[in-house]
Amino acid sequence: MQAVVLVGGQGSRLRPITYDVPKPMVPLRNRPFISYMVDFLRSGGVDRAVLSMGYLPDPIQEYFEKQKMDGFELDYVVEDRPLGTAGGLKNAQSALDGGPVVVTNGDVLTGMRLESLIEAHRESGALATIALTSVEDPTAYGLVEVDHNMKVHRFVEKPAYDEISTSLINAGIYVLEPEVLEMIPAGKEVSIEREIFPRLQQSGRLYAYVSSSYWKDIGTPRSYLTASQDVLSGAIAGGEDFDYRESHPSIEVGKSVKILPPFSIERDCVLENGCTVGGRTALGRGCRIGEEAVVEGSILFDGVRVEPGAIIRGSIVGPNVRIGHRAIVRGLAVLGAECVIGEGNVLDQGIRVNPRVNLPPRSLRF
Ligand code: GTP
């Protein structure tokens, strides 16, 4: 089986992180997200994939060029302007073999059984099968209504509360027959969700497969941070009582340091005396956590420096950020690459700080 992974989007909801790091490369337990997608495809019997790229393609390609792929074949196509989800798929067509294809959004983390989706597709004789997942608050998504045979009979885009007729949403994973690619005009911006699926639904050949496995798209700061915490606590593998306690042997740990599980600490990190790190935290390569500083429930990208006494809770800190003495970063703050947060600032309430901003000492409080 072959696959196309759509990774060309700008990831605007995950800015300012995605100004520097493309969404497929953001780390989960210190591995780029896209590596989980490749594992998912392999586990379902897929042995080759085409990455449909656009925005910031180089870091993704460079990452895979250094990996051992053990027989999994990867091809890359790069569009010179955004073609949307169907346009990006069409652009990958010349690298495909003319048979059915698994298509996935490049930002979903799931424990779904891909083989079962492929099997359901084969059995129904559909032109396309969409995987569905159920979410608690579907108002931010497009709902998919199905009949008792799992045939899709209606899409409801971003419903109001009184329009919610199902909790099932498009999980961003499909199996398509080659005829579907023929329906997409070449060289144009086309959305598979809004333009191609409604046409397939009208022809009666669009089916669904419902999965109750773990599923999360990592497209917003909240969902990305939750996905990171879930991965650290083993949720995607279905093991509820499992905590990762990973630290590279090269890390330096001072006196009276508290490391609370689950955690993932990459090579060359330094934890100075009396600091506290963990509680579903991932520290990227070469982070330094100062004396008595606290880092909990957060993601720190590579090279972050946290000065003594600073506190970081439930936040996302981009590469090479510096957080000053006794500064507080909490409440899903998102800090872009290389910014400097001066001493004593307090960042809270989902604040986003653009890359390379230099915030003078004590200039911001909530
Ligand atoms: P937002 O800007 O935050 O909405 O994120 P996004 O750009 O990733 O868009 P969205 O989450 O809607 O995209 C779903 C999937 O399709 C993601 O994996 C994107 O990388 C991918 N995608 C979106 N637009 C394009 C495109 O124009 N070309 C290609 N090749 N992929 C795309």
**Is 142 in the same domain as 290?**
no
Cα of 135 to ligand 1 centre, how many Å? Answer: 20
| Residue among 65, 64, 45 nearest 2 (CA) | 45
Cα of 258 to ligand 1 centre, how many Å? Answer: 40
**Is 134 in the same domain as 193?**
yes
Q: 49: which DSSP letter?
A: E
**Is 217 in the same domain as 325?**
no
**Three-class DSSP category at 67:** coil
Q: What is the CATH number of the domain that holds 354?
A: 2.160.10.10
**Is 212 in the same domain as 261?**
no
**Is 223 in the same domain as 259?**
no
For residue range 40-83, what is the model confidence (pLDDT) as tens digits?
999 999 999 999 999 999 999 999 999 988 899 999 999 999 99
Q: What is the CATH number of the domain that holds 53?
A: 3.90.550.10
**Is 211 in the same domain as 339?**
no
Asked whether residue 238 is domain-assigned, the answer is no
CB within 8 A of 75, min separation 6: which ones?
48, 49, 50, 51, 92, 95
**Is 204 in the same domain as 307?**
no
Asked whether residue 212 is domain-assigned, the answer is yes
Last residue of a domain, one of 205, 232, 259: 232
- Among 6, 15, 19, which residue has the most ligand 1 atoms within 8 Å of its CB, making it the best to mutate? 6
Pair 140, 161: CB distance under 8 Å: no
For residue range 245-265, what is the model confidence (pLDDT) as tens digits?
999 999 999 999 999 999 999
Span 348-363, average pLDDT: 97
Query: How far apart (Å, rounded) are the C-alpha atoms in residues 317 and 18?
Result: 12
CB within 8 A of 270, min separation 6: which ones?
251, 252, 254, 287, 288, 289
Cα 12 to Cα 9, 31, 235: the distances in Å are 8, 21, 27
Cα of 92 to ligand 1 centre, how many Å? Answer: 15
| Ligand 1 atom nearest 91 alpha carbon | 30
Q: Which residue, by CA, sits nearest to atom 1 of ligand 1?
A: 11
User: Does the pLDDT at position 158 exceed 90?
Assistant: no
Model pTM score: 0.95
**Is 217 in the same domain as 352?**
no
User: Measuring from each residue's beta carbon to the nearest atom of ligand 1, which residues come in under 6 Å?
Assistant: 6-13, 23, 52, 54, 79, 82-85, 88, 105-107, 219
Cα 88 to Cα 33, 92, 127, 186, 342: the distances in Å are 20, 7, 19, 9, 42
- Domain, as residue range, for 180: 2-232
Token reading at 28: 């989960």
